[in-house]
């Protein structure tokens, strides 16, 4: 099968817009988690702490992009200027990745290019606000709501923006949706369905209903209202649940032959990717399922557990979830687990729900290429012994193999193995 390379990255997050800003923030251990302002609370985010895209202005960010054709930027304004927040974030991150992959100056065949959006029920707050504004008089519902409430509109927007003519679809797997998108994108490249695949983990713009339901489930944290940056505590004895984060990640996947024909500069190879179910509709995680998917990804990468030097965990800071993941890691990595660097990007950006896997894939590739592992700033008293957690400061580490986990409610388990690119041609 075709080798799968990553040739472009894009990210919109609470700690940085764009790959360079995001990478610098990771290395510095910058946290995007803040107390919710009164204005945000009035707009329906009835929680105390979150990692939001504060002061995000789509028009301003598009104008700030350089190195892209004016025609493309004008088309971006047309397709997304008045769209919901999630579509705007997808558009911006995709433009960043498209630019890095060099697809403007060295284009790929649009008939051999695909697009996958990871996420479902993506713009719930948009629907909620529409109901609040027009629920008593539906005659005034804007006609474009008939398109924009559907997740598939994201595929349409991105295909129009980049004039993509190959295959495209949305995929869902709860909090594992970003990784599910990457798994499916890998398969499309491996099987030769497309040469290039744009994969987006969509920003989950949730409504007060979802947030309150998760809170009622006991899934959300946030007891440390006086010190919000300390609220998200993956693998710490004081962990009490996840903190909601807003963000979007985009990766350009490409076959080796396509990358070479375009003289593109690969950032990493996806050496192995796996997805499996637990046969469970509920939110409780499975140690067996998580261990199985990590082992499957390694098998498909033709690697041993001891080959992996860094693991970006799912690490949501939920009590049961953290315990189960560490037990599964110990099952898989066994004797080599003490040599495995472990961290959780959610400690800095919160849990970005559908986008989590994609953003964490971007973070993993950044660390792989820049020779560091980012800190776990709130890890005061780890719940596991004999594990090599990254501490409160980033560590300069040169490594070639990394793995990234994403798990979702309903028994979704995913894991991806990344390999630093070394051109041997």
Question: How is residue 384 written in tokens?
Answer: 């596991």
User: How large is the C-alpha radius of gyration of the chain?
Assistant: 20
Same domain, 33 and 71: yes
Q: What is the pLDDT of residues 168-194, one digit of tens each?
A: 999 999 999 999 999 999 999 999 999
CATH code of the domain containing 410: 3.40.47.10
Residues 6+ apart with CB under 8 A from 136: none
Report the pLDDT value the prediction gives residue 65, as an integer from 0 to 100. Answer: 94
Same domain, 205 and 254: yes
Q: Longest Cα pair distance anywhere in the chain, in angstroms?
A: 65
**Is residue 425 in a domain?**
no
State the Cα–Cα distance between residues 138 and 129, nearest whole angstrom.
13
State the Cα–Cα distance between residues 235 and 388, nearest whole angstrom.
12
Number of structural domains in the chain: 2
Q: pLDDT 10s per residue in the chain (425 long)?
A: 899 999 999 999 999 999 999 999 999 999 999 988 655 554 555 678 999 998 899 999 999 999 999 999 999 999 999 999 999 999 999 999 999 999 999 999 999 999 999 999 999 998 998 898 898 888 888 888 888 889 999 999 999 999 999 999 999 999 999 999 999 999 999 999 999 999 999 999 999 999 999 999 999 997 766 788 899 999 999 999 999 999 999 999 999 999 999 999 999 999 999 999 999 999 999 999 999 999 999 999 999 999 999 999 999 999 999 999 999 999 999 999 999 999 999 999 999 999 999 999 999 999 999 999 999 999 999 998 899 999 999 999 999 999 999 999 999 999 999 999 987 55
Would you give the DSSP letter of residue 403? E
Phi, psi of 176 (to 5 degrees): -95, 5
**Is residue 36 in a domain?**
yes
Same domain, 167 and 293: no
pTM above 0.85, yes or no: yes
Same domain, 333 and 254: no
Same domain, 293 and 250: no
Same domain, 254 and 339: no
Q: What is the 3-state secondary structure (H, E, C) of 191-254?
A: CCCCCEEEEEECCCCCCHHHHHHHHHHCCECCCCCCCHHHCCCCCECCCCCECEECCEEEEEEE
- Host domain of residue 28: 4-268
Same domain, 403 and 326: yes
Report the pLDDT value the prediction gives residue 225, as an integer from 0 to 100. Answer: 67
Same domain, 352 and 313: yes
Show which of 249, 268, 287 is a domain's final residue: 268
The span from the first CA to the last CA of the chain, in angstroms, equals 18
Report the pLDDT value the prediction gives residue 422, as an integer from 0 to 100. Answer: 81
Show which of 268, 293, 312 is a domain's final residue: 268
CA atoms in the 13 A half-sphere facing the CB of 399: 24
**Is residue 424 in a domain?**
no
Would you give the DSSP letter of residue 173? B
**Is residue 93 in a domain?**
yes
Same domain, 264 and 282: no
Same domain, 177 and 297: no
Show which of 229, 252, 268 is a domain's final residue: 268
């Amino acid at each position: 099968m075709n080798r799968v390379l990553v040739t472009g990255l894009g990210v919109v997050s609470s700690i940085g817009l764009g790959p360079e800003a995001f990478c610098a923030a990771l290395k510095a251990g910058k946290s995007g988690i803040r107390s919710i302002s009164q204005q945000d609370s009035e707009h329906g985010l009835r929680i105390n702490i979150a990692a939001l895209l504060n002061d995000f202005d789509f028009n301003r960010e598009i104008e700030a992009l350089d190195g892209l054709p004016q025609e493309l930027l004008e088309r971006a304004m047309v397709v997304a200027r008045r769209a919901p927040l999630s579509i705007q974030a997808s558009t911006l991150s995709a433009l960043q990745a498209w630019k890095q992959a060099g697809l403007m100056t060295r284009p790929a065949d649009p008939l051999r290019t695909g697009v996958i959006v990871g996420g479902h029920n993506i713009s719930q707050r948009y629907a909620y606000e529409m109901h609040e504004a027009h629920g008593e008089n539906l005659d005034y519902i804007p006609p474009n709501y008939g398109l924009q409430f559907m997740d598939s509109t994201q595929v349409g927007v991105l295909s129009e923006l980049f004039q993509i003519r190959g295959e495209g679809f949305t995929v869902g797997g709860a909090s594992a949706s970003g990784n599910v998108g990457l798994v499916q994108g890998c398969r499309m490249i491996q099987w030769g369905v497309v040469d290039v695949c744009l994969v987006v983990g969509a920003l989950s713009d949730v409504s007060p209903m979802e947030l309150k339901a998760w809170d009622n489930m006991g899934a959300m944290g946030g007891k440390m209202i006086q010190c919000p940056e300390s609220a998200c505590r993956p693998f710490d004895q004081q962990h009490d649940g996840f903190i909601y984060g807003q963000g979007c990640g985009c990766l350009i996947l490409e076959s080796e032959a396509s990358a070479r024909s375009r003289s593109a500069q690969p950032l990493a190879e996806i050496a192995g990717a796996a997805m499996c179910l637990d046969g469970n509709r509920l939110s409780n995680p499975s140690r067996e399922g998580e261990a199985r998917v990590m082992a499957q990804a390694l098998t498909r990468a033709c690697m041993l557990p001891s080959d992996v030097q860094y693991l970006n965990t799912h690490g949501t800071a939920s009590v049961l979830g953290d315990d189960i993941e560490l037990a599964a890691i110990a099952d898989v990595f066994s004797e080599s687990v003490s040599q495995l660097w472990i961290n959780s990007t959610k400690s800095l950006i919160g849990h970005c729900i559908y986008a989590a896997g994609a953003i964490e894939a971007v973070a993993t590739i950044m660390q792989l290429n820049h020779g560091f592992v980012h800190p776990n700033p709130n890890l005061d008293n780890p719940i596991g012994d004999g594990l090599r957690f990254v501490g409160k400061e980033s560590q300069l580490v040169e490594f070639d193999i990394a793995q990234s986990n994403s798990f979702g409610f309903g028994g979704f388990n995913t894991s991806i193995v990344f390999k630093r690119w070394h051109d041997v041609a």
